[in-house]
Amino acid sequence: MLVLGTFLEISIILVIATVIAGIMKLLKQPLIIGHIITGILVGPFLFDLVKSGEIINVFSQIGVALLLFIVGLTLSPRVIREVGKVSLVTGLGQIIFTSIIGFFISRALGFSNIVSLYIAIALTFSSTIIIMKLLSDKHDVEKLYGKVSIGFLLVQDVVAIIILIVVSSISNELNLTNSLAQTIAYGLLLVTLVTIASMYILPGLSKLFAKSQELLYLFSIAWGLGLAGLFHYFGLSIEIGALIAGISLAMSPYHLEISSKMKPLRDFFIILFFILLGAQMSLGDVSRFIVPVILFSLFILIGNPLVVIILMGLLGYPKKTGFSAGLTVAQISEFSLILIALGVRIGHLNSEILSLVTIIGLITIAGSTYLILYSERIYPYVSRYLSIFERKSIKREKKMVGEYDIILFGCSRTGYDFLKSFRRLKKRFIVVDYNPEIIADLTRKKINYIYGDADDNEFLDELKLNKVKMVVSTIPDFDTNVLLINRVKQENGRAIILVVSYNIDESIMLYEEGATYVMMPHFLGGSYASMMTAKYGFNINKFLKEKEKHIKYLKERRHAGHEHPKTEKHR
């Protein structure tokens, strides 16, 4: 009965979430706001539907772990080196400035020293989960400001964990020095073990599992959630464990495929996180705190971003990068609510302060969501005022590695010939394939590649099709080619699209869908031979030269392990 009740409860909550999300979509509002509103509706202040809070909390933690795992997949050691310094300086600088200013604002409003200290610290932490979700939705995780934001949010998380350990030690009368030392020791040990595994064990394991899409999917879930659970077991956060699990696979040739497979699962579970967040909001009587709510909310929405903009300007970053990164700290986090709740439990604070911080959380989460989603529209209105924070010598964003002139889908028999042509063109190209043997061969030849499936819409989102000049598909599957043609035409109407087909009717339909040219390998040989006949006539020497070139070419193909297809299902 308990299982059935929980199933019914979650089902009803998801139905309400769907209705609210639909309304948000019609009103062109962020879905995150809809999920939090759903949480408030099903929480104790209205319908009081959340009876299986522990089970829903487990599901929401799975969503958090998957979200951070996927983000980690985009953060290779190269990226960490690139933004590590600015993330550390900005993260610590923002915490110091915000907490000091927040403390004096609290004191000016009449709060005691201990209450002011709690409020000031709570105001410094931004929601890693919400920002990660918004950056993912905007496809900005790989932009410079996105990388920097993720970096300083993680710095905040580490500081938040240390502060929570300190407060918990006071609460439980534990030895603070031993607690911190033990946690740091465990953290360093686990990071070292994961680093060793990523260098010597994971490459072979991932290659083995990549031979089956299902195995790769299962391995990815096990690795991400397993490490998150391991870190949690040793007193560290699930978020940090999941992120490190993702980073350890970031250099794998299969990271994009893993990311695309994980996203639907992440989206389901992360919805429950935001619903639970809304349900746990403490909406008590805060009528006498109207002025503090307004002042603190404005400070977080305007003051926090300003601190980041100033710090990034001093470090030499352009004003737009600083502005975009600054908006990601314009809200308080779940750590803020946990800290205040802990203070209430210890007896340092009363429940009214929890209600105060909760209302600030609602306002700033909603406000920052709009600011981040519409930052491109807001920036032109504030750009000239931000120039005072920009140095004359600024660091420009490096051109993204993920931009290519040509993408080749499939690199077996038909794709083989294109590689030489692309090199002669001296254009940036990349190969997409999911055959581990082909991936290994491309690695040996030092050819850029991505392990992935052209049938996967989520995977195609990662490829930045709007940047390419040519897309070549040597995959003879009709539905796959229709999908590719439609996606490319939708995102980049001027791109050249070449596809393969073994069927005349399907070739005509591919032209109708928008293909620039359809290759039919079975007809190309006869067509080329007839062109030679027309060109050389009865000159046997010309034919013998073609014969020598063809024999050389066939030997190259044999050496590459290619055979002429016996069926029309081969690439």
Taking each helix axis as running N to C, give the angle between helix 521-536 and helix 540-559, from 0 to 180 degrees, rounded to the nearest 10.
150
User: Which domain range does residue 440 map to?
Assistant: 406-559
Q: Give how many domains the chain has, as a whole number.
A: 2
Question: What is the rounded distance in angstroms from the CA atom of residue 433 to the CA atom of residue 360?
Answer: 48
Residue 307 lies in a domain: yes
Residues 6 or more apart whose Cβ sits within 8 Å of residue 432? 407, 408, 409, 410, 449, 450, 452, 454, 463
Domain stops at, among 326, 358, 389: 389
Residue 396 lies in a domain: no
- Residues 436 and 382 both lie in one domain: no
Question: What is the rounded distance in angstroms from the CA atom of residue 386 to the CA atom of residue 322?
Answer: 9
Q: What CATH number does residue 428 fall under?
A: 3.40.50.720
- Residues 471 and 365 both lie in one domain: no
Helix (H, G, I), strand (E, B) or coil at 109: coil
| Mean pLDDT, residues 396-409 taken together | 66
- Residues 372 and 505 both lie in one domain: no
Q: Classify burial at 359, counting beta carbons within 10 Å of its beta carbon; exposed 0-12, middle 13-18, buried 19 or more.
A: buried
Among the residue ranges 340-354, 419-433, 520-534, the one predicted with the least confidence is 520-534
Question: What is the rounded distance in angstroms from the CA atom of residue 277 to the CA atom of residue 113?
Answer: 29
Q: Classify burial at 399, counting beta carbons within 10 Å of its beta carbon; exposed 0-12, middle 13-18, buried 19 or more.
A: exposed
pTM of this prediction?
0.62
Residue 552 lies in a domain: yes
SS (H, E, C) 425-473: HCCCEEEEECCHHHHHHHHHCCCCEEECCCCCHHHHHCCCHHHCCEEEE
Of 86, 164, 543, 516, nearest in space to 339 by CA? 164
Residue 395 lies in a domain: no
Cα→Cα distances 173→176, 329, 399, 512, Å = 8, 33, 52, 74
Q: What is the phi-psi region of residue 237: left when phi exceeds 0, alpha when psi lies from -120 to 50, beta otherwise?
A: beta
Phi, psi at 332, each rounded to 5°: -95, 165
Residue 401 has pLDDT above 60, yes or no: no
| Mean pLDDT, residues 264-277 taken together | 81
- Residues 448 and 332 both lie in one domain: no
Residue 530 has pLDDT above 60, yes or no: no
DSSP 519: E
**181, HSE (Cβ side, Cα atoms, 13 Å):** 5
Q: Which pLDDT value is given to residue 373?
A: 85
- Residues 461 and 370 both lie in one domain: no
Angle, CA of 400, 401 and 407, to the nearest 5°: 115
pLDDT digits (tens, 9 = 90+) for 9-30: 888 888 999 999 899 888 777 7
Q: Which pLDDT value is given to residue 399?
A: 43
Q: Which pLDDT value is given to residue 306?
A: 92
Residue 243 lies in a domain: yes
- Residues 204 and 313 both lie in one domain: yes
Taking CB atoms within 8 Å and a gap of at least 24, the contacts of 295-300 are 295/105, 295/109, 296/102, 296/105, 296/119, 296/123, 296/360, 297/360, 297/363, 297/364, 297/367, 299/101, 299/102, 299/105, 299/123, 300/123, 300/330, 300/331, 300/332, 300/360, 300/364
Of 546, 40, 524, 485, nearest in space to 275 by CA? 40
Amino acid letter at 260? S
Residue 571 lies in a domain: no
| Matching residue, tokens 């519409």 | 374
pLDDT greater at residue 334 or residue 379? 379
Q: What CATH number does residue 50 fall under?
A: 1.20.1530.20
pLDDT digits (tens, 9 = 90+) for 479-516: 889 999 998 988 888 888 888 888 878 888 888 888 88
- Residues 346 and 236 both lie in one domain: yes
Q: Count Cβ atoms below 10 Å from residue 118 Cβ, excluding itself.
A: 25
| Mean pLDDT, residues 53-59 taken together | 79
Domain stops at, among 357, 389, 421: 389
Domain stops at, among 338, 359, 389: 389
pLDDT greater at residue 148 or residue 285? 148
Q: Classify burial at 284, counting beta carbons within 10 Å of its beta carbon; exposed 0-12, middle 13-18, buried 19 or more.
A: middle
